[in-house]
Structure 1
Amino acid sequence: MRISPMNLMTSFQRLFRPNKPQKELYLSLLLSHSYVGACAWSMDVDGTLQVTAVESKKLEKNTWENRIEIADGLIEKLSEHAGTDAIHQVVFGLSQEMLTPSGDIEKGVKIELKKMSTMLDLTPVGFVNIDTAVVFQIKHDEGVPPSVILLHVEEHAMLMSLYRVGTCVGTRTIQKTEFVVEDVETAIKSFSDIEVLPSRILLFGDDTINLETIQSQLLTHQWPNRVNFLHYPKIDVMSMEDVAKAVALAGASELARAMGIDIEDNEEELSEAKSRSAGETVVAQTPPPSEEKELSPESTIEEFITEEQSKEVKDVVEEIDEAFDKDTDSERLEEIEITPADANVVSVSPEVLGFGKKQKIRIQLPKFPKIPNMPKIPIHGIALPFGIIGMFTVVLLGFLYYLLPKVTITIGVMPQIITKEKAITISTTATVVDGEKFIVPGKKQEKSISGEKTLPVTGKKRIGDPARGTVTLYNKTTTTKLLKKGTIIDYKSLEFTLDSDVSVASASESIGSITFGTTPAIVTAIAIGEEGNVGVNSEFSVKGYDTSVLIARNSQSFAGGKSRETTVVSRADYDALIKALTDELVVKAKEELSQGVVGGEKLIVY
């Protein structure tokens, strides 16, 4: 066949400048007990993630019917942003509470996911733990596996996960109360086997205002004094949009591997990531190495990629569909024994989502005629063998430099604070330091300081005069009654005392009647104040006697009772004055004593 130069040039242009195929849209669906999040995304041919739109909404009820209804609305919004309804392949992002301790999906959740996929016309590709996706996002951004405490804040609870160098050490569930900081501190302290905690706390959830409130409360807590942090932890908030993108990034990264796109991670990193993801399985089996495919001059690189990509995606979808369609009878759903072999949604790691190992694209370009050997030019008068040996040595060293394996090792040193206490004796008779007996020479200094200080007083006291008056005592018995000075007579709640001893004559009997014995007496109120000014004709009882024996009445009103409130020095005022003056004098004494310290001497005040 004859190939003209023009046809050859056209073939090369089509080979290296292909037309872009239509990108396929994928969906990441975030599910928790309080919200639903959705993210539409696609991938470039090199595996780069392209996010189209992100939406989220809070659950009205913690039911799967409400989740499906909200997810349907979010997918509709994403379709409007993307300008297409062809969003069917989904990666589920599930909160920790929907997973088993081994990392699998709870049986009840798995059944509900199948119903959701059927009702919303979705094809499950896999799932990822939201916490693990967030850690994978941090590693992707910072280049190293992070050590961090994740706090997934939901409506009624907070889910805490502790990661060290990208590995999950443990999880805790915290019920939300009004004491958020104390609850978080208690949960962190429960990781008792961790000597030094990661000095980084990351909060995420759907309620931005609530997250910022919790962040401000955590920032004011004295963490280094309460928990074993090396220094005050960095406390950040991750937006719902970034969390959705993190789940999308995890899906895109592993989907790129499944499609055979050469991504940045090497095989060692992939193996290490798999070993860290205990209990997590892959979505699709690793495809066997494909044979090299030779392109015709009219073929393009992108056509080759599209063909390989379609094959891999088809394998993934068929495997997931097969797992979902094993039992279609709704009455048999509850009897399904969920195993990794027939799970409808298979657990994945964010670093190994499981769409297959990476496969590099192999392209065999057209062969060109071999360039003929150039004739040797003889060189005379030069030590040619030595020049050739030197050139060969340089080329060999350069070749070895680029081909020999290299590794960069980063050694992280975790400082540990050691505190030790020891009692020492300061002796005024010693002249040198005794290291065995812990005796340090010293000298005693004394300083006498005087001063004065004035403070306003706050004490209150009531002062005044008691009321006084004259009463007539009535003796209703036939025997004389002797009342001592200080005897109390009562009028309602007021009490008065006799100013002197009083003898009350006995009653006398006449024909058909009794005349009470009477004696006047002066009384004084016990309490000061106007209340003691009793009105005329008031009847009093005598303490210790029944009213059928003795009573008293006044024929004139009592007078002289008055009171007022004045400011006096209280005990609190006295103590405050003594403390303030003492503090001032101690500071002044320290300043004067420090002037006498010379050389390497230290002043100790006690």
Structure 2
Amino acid sequence: MEVGGVFPKTGKGEKLYWSLIIDDDLIQVGLWRMWDGHVNLLFSSNPVTWKTDEELASGADNLLSSAVEFIPTDSIEPKEVVFGIPASWALEGDVKEGYVAKIKLICQELKLTPLGFVVVNEAIAHSLKISGGESLNGILMGITPRLFEVTYYKNGEIVGAESVIRSISVIDDLKEAFLRLGKKEGSLIPRVVLFDNGNHLSGEIKNEIVKYDWQLDGMGFPSDPVVEIIDRETEMTAVCLAGGTELAEVSKLEPTDSSKVEASDLGIFSDEVQPPVIKEPIYNEPQKRKLVLPKLPHFHLPAVKLPTRRVPLMALVGGLIFVLGFVALWLLTTKSEVELVFSPRKVRDAVEVAVNMTGSWDFSQKKVVGKLMAQTVSDEKTATVTGTKITGEKAKGEVTLYRVGEELSIESGTKLVGPGSMTFTFDNPVKIPTGSPSSPGTVKVAVTAVVFGTEYNLAGNSLFKVGNYPQSDIEAKNENAFSGGTRKEVSAISEEDTTSLKKALSEGLVTEAKEKVTGQDTEDFLINEPVNIKINREDFSAKVGDEATSLTLKSEVVVEFLVFPKDETLTFARQLLASKVDTEKFLLRDDLLIVAWSDVVSKKDSYSAIFVAEGSLLPKLNESELVKKIAGRRGSVVKEYLATLPTYSSTAIKITPALSRYVGILPLFPKKITIITNSY
């Protein structure tokens, strides 16, 4: 990676340097050279972790050793190093006392000469301006496993900084930092640039930021922020660029020697060389100041002096024709394409509406007209039953009846109550013959227990009461024990089994119906929650109480959805949002309108619902006037002007042919400028 044209050409040839980026747990090395006004990154290592000072020194040693193979054969191994450190290591233009010893340890162990240091976030901001041609506007955030270091830039100047110790919730941490900045600065520029020294945390943090609705909590953003990631190689290039900026002004650095461990003792500061300014730690109140780097050199064209001797007339005419031809060629061939990217401003509103199946739409009465779309679906589902029931065999036996008196008939099914209130019934009708005290009438009758259970297997000579007859009238007992009574518990279908199976199958059928209707090729707006579900057929494989281990349900249903025509729906949405749009400044585009429905309630012949509309506002541009204003202007001036447009995000300018790009000026004729607008 090469950064060219930013340093004065010294003509001193090629020399190699090291750069070391260190944070709380990672170290990374870069090998670079500065030659003929360029910084050229030859090698950027993967970061390695460290915990102790010994691991820091050995890690740096291993990284430098791995980089040696990238040194050109005609160059010698460098001994000079530029350090990149996080903002939390710096305080008032100096390295904090606790971190000076770590830098000194590396230099002593590896026999390196320190040229200076730079705070990484300031180096990145400077590098973005050098490479992109415009100052940083937005939030630059350094990420470590322990901290979020958040710095807010406006036109390349630090206007606010916050440090937040990380907790479990990324969003809560960022909300704390952004809220502090928003209170100080008001509306925040919706741009967030992340860097992490290669610890691979930026991707995860970006996803968290992008997913969250920053408009919800009033964080100070006029729209959801655009999130960018600075990769580790770009981060390393920024540190090397800062080092190269200093070297472009001095030819030699000599560190002092002292027994006291100070930042100046390491050669990091000297009277001859001023390092890139270190801002205060981001957990203190920041000062507003710029990254101090040398100004770019001014280029002067030599004055043209007319010779004292007469120049041939043809030569003068030829030179004039050449100059005029070049200017004419530039005017006729130069074209430009200016892409404007906007971050739309969101507007939203909701209203309760009456949904009819006939009639016309009426915004003043909040009436809309829809139609029903029916989808028939069928399926079957089997589930394991959870109910149980008691079954078995009923005890049986024979009872002898004794009676004194006239003949008596007793019906089948008459109850016979024995010991413990256990109840039996007559299997058949019987007649007790006439009997006397000396010779009672007797008859035998077969009986069966009314319920299952072994407890009904009564022993012989048990006494019973017959129906409503007193025992003094009829005496009953069994001469032999009852037998055959058993009891067991088995799986059986319960009410809950049928209810849950019906619910599960119904949900599946509704989901299938949704997929079918949403897959249809139509521009109409569909409420994908059904308003009616009609059952055509419902067949269970068994009924409640049946002994079974599983239950199958076959069902066919008709699912109905509400559908609304596209044109009328968009017109209604525009009418709803009209009061929120400044039509002199903004456009409400149909392709950016979002419509939703909720809380649909069915009535007798109609429905009620909540109609929700959300729109994205883009600035109203008069392109013919705009191209007149930017025609013949330098690209950097055009970008500064366009940045004043509402909801502006970024600009990309393409100038053709290649020769015109070096001039860097847009065509003089407006008709040769094309404006392209995009949004995200």
TM, length-normalised to structure 2: 0.47
User: For residue 255 of structure 1, what is the aligned residue in structure 2?
Assistant: 247
Asked if 1:328 is matched to 2:319, the reply is no
User: For residue 74 of structure 1, what is the aligned residue in structure 2?
Assistant: 63
8 Å Cα contact 1:174-1:187 kept in structure 2: no
Instruction: Give CA-to-partner distance per residue, 1:343-370, whole Å, 9 cap, x none.
Output: 99956269987676667799999x9996
Aligned to 2:134, the other structure's residue is in SS state coil
Cα offset for 1:54? 2.2
Asked if 1:49 is matched to 2:36, the reply is no
Aligned 1:169-318 pairs, distance under 5 A: 169-175=160-166, 177=168, 180=170, 184=174, 187-188=177-178, 191-193=181-183, 194-208=186-200, 211-212=202-203, 214=204, 217-218=207-208, 221-223=211-213, 233-256=225-248, 259=249, 312-314=250-252, 317-318=253-254
Instruction: Supply the AA of the counterpart residue of 1:328.
Output: S
Asked if 1:565 is matched to 2:492, the reply is yes
Asked if 1:139 is matched to 2:77, the reply is no
Aligned to 2:492, the other structure's residue is in SS state strand
| Cα separation, 1, equivalents of 2:561 and 2:210 | 36
| Cα separation, 1, equivalents of 2:419 and 2:177 | 67
| Cα separation, 2, equivalents of 1:190 and 1:183 | 11
Asked if 1:105 is matched to 2:59, the reply is no
More displaced 10-residue stretch of structure 1: 166-175 or 183-192: 183-192
8 Å Cα contact 1:152-1:158 kept in structure 2: yes
Instruction: Supply the AA of the counterpart residue of 2:24.
Output: H
User: For residue 512 of structure 1, what is the aligned residue in structure 2?
Assistant: none
Asked if 1:348 is matched to 2:277, the reply is yes
Instruction: Supply the AA of the counterpart residue of 1:90.
Output: V
| Cα separation, 2, equivalents of 1:456 and 1:364 | 91
Asked if 1:440 is matched to 2:369, the reply is no
| Cα separation, 2, equivalents of 1:129 and 1:583 | 64
8 Å Cα contact 1:41-1:50 kept in structure 2: yes
| Cα separation, 2, equivalents of 1:373 and 1:572 | 109
Aligned to 1:566, the other structure's residue is in SS state coil
Instruction: Supply the AA of the counterpart residue of 1:76.
Output: S
Cα offset for 1:86? 4.7
User: For residue 319 of structure 2, what is the aligned residue in structure 1?
Assistant: none
User: For residue 125 of structure 1, what is the aligned residue in structure 2?
Assistant: 115
**Structure 1 pair 236/192, CA: closer, same or farther in 2 (3 Å)?**
closer
Cα offset for 1:108? 1.5
Structure 2 residue corresponding to 1:90, chosen from 35, 56, 81:
81
Aligned to 1:569, the other structure's residue is in SS state helix
User: For residue 462 of structure 1, what is the aligned residue in structure 2?
Assistant: 387
| Cα separation, 1, equivalents of 2:351 and 2:141 | 41
8 Å Cα contact 1:27-1:91 kept in structure 2: yes
| Cα separation, 2, equivalents of 1:356 and 1:137 | 13
User: For residue 371 of structure 1, what is the aligned residue in structure 2?
Assistant: 308
8 Å Cα contact 2:214-2:224 kept in structure 1: yes
| Cα separation, 2, equivalents of 1:116 and 1:146 | 33
> Runs of 5+ in structure 1 lacking a partner?
1-17, 260-311, 377-397, 399-410, 427-432, 434-438, 472-484, 490-496, 502-519, 526-531, 539-553
8 Å Cα contact 2:370-2:565 kept in structure 1: no
Aligned to 1:570, the other structure's residue is in SS state helix
Instruction: Give CA-to-partner distance per residue, 1:69-108, whole Å, 9 cap, x none.
Output: 22233333434422555523322100122123x4542111
| Cα separation, 2, equivalents of 1:486 and 1:414 | 89
Cα offset for 1:35? 1.4
| Cα separation, 2, equivalents of 1:71 and 1:119 | 10
User: For residue 167 of structure 1, what is the aligned residue in structure 2?
Assistant: 157
Structure 2 residue corresponding to 1:25, chosen from 9, 13, 16:
16
User: For residue 429 of structure 1, what is the aligned residue in structure 2?
Assistant: none
Structure 2 residue corresponding to 1:116, chosen from 106, 117, 122:
106
| Cα separation, 1, equivalents of 2:207 and 2:418 | 66
| Cα separation, 2, equivalents of 1:106 and 1:246 | 22
Instruction: Give CA-to-partner distance per residue, 1:381-415, whole Å, 9 cap, x none.
Output: xxxxxxxxxxxxxxxxx9xxxxxxxxxxxx99987
Instruction: Give CA-to-partner distance per residue, 1:235-267, whole Å, 9 cap, x none.
Output: 4443322211111012212432xx2xxxxxxxx
**Structure 1 pair 458/114, CA: closer, same or farther in 2 (3 Å)?**
same
8 Å Cα contact 2:374-2:560 kept in structure 1: no
**Structure 1 pair 570/37, CA: closer, same or farther in 2 (3 Å)?**
same
Instruction: Supply the AA of the counterpart residue of 1:65.
Output: E
Instruction: Supply the AA of the counterpart residue of 1:563.
Output: V
| Cα separation, 2, equivalents of 1:186 and 1:31 | 26
Cα offset for 1:521? 12
Aligned to 1:245, the other structure's residue is in SS state helix
Identity score, percent? 17
| Cα separation, 2, equivalents of 1:487 and 1:149 | 92
Instruction: Supply the AA of the counterpart residue of 1:250.
Output: A
| Cα separation, 2, equivalents of 1:558 and 1:66 | 84
Aligned 1:354-433 pairs, distance under 5 A: 371=308, 417=346
User: For residue 31 of structure 2, what is the aligned residue in structure 1?
Assistant: 40
Instruction: Give CA-to-partner distance per residue, 1:426-445, whole Å, 9 cap, x none.
Output: 9xxxxxx9xxxxx9347798
8 Å Cα contact 1:196-1:230 kept in structure 2: yes
User: For residue 585 of structure 2, what is the aligned residue in structure 1?
Assistant: none
Structure 1 residue corresponding to 2:144, chosen from 142, 154, 157:
154
8 Å Cα contact 2:147-2:163 kept in structure 1: no
Aligned to 1:145, the other structure's residue is in SS state coil
The structure in which a higher percent of residues are strand is 2
Instruction: Supply the AA of the counterpart residue of 2:21.
Output: L
Instruction: Supply the AA of the counterpart residue of 2:55.
Output: N
Aligned 1:582-597 pairs, distance under 5 A: 582-583=531-532, 590=562
Instruction: Give CA-to-partner distance per residue, 1:445-482, whole Å, 9 cap, x none.
Output: 899999998675777453544456669xxxxxxxxxxx
8 Å Cα contact 2:246-2:273 kept in structure 1: no
| Cα separation, 1, equivalents of 2:424 and 2:501 | 40
Aligned to 2:493, the other structure's residue is in SS state strand
User: For residue 514 of structure 1, what is the aligned residue in structure 2?
Assistant: none
Instruction: Supply the AA of the counterpart residue of 2:61.
Output: D
More displaced 10-residue stretch of structure 1: 216-225 or 33-42: 216-225
| Cα separation, 2, equivalents of 1:117 and 1:522 | 101
User: For residue 599 of structure 2, what is the aligned residue in structure 1?
Assistant: none
**Structure 1 pair 36/77, CA: closer, same or farther in 2 (3 Å)?**
same
Aligned residues: 419
| Cα separation, 2, equivalents of 1:249 and 1:126 | 12
| Cα separation, 1, equivalents of 2:366 and 2:49 | 72
The structure in which a higher percent of residues are helix is 1
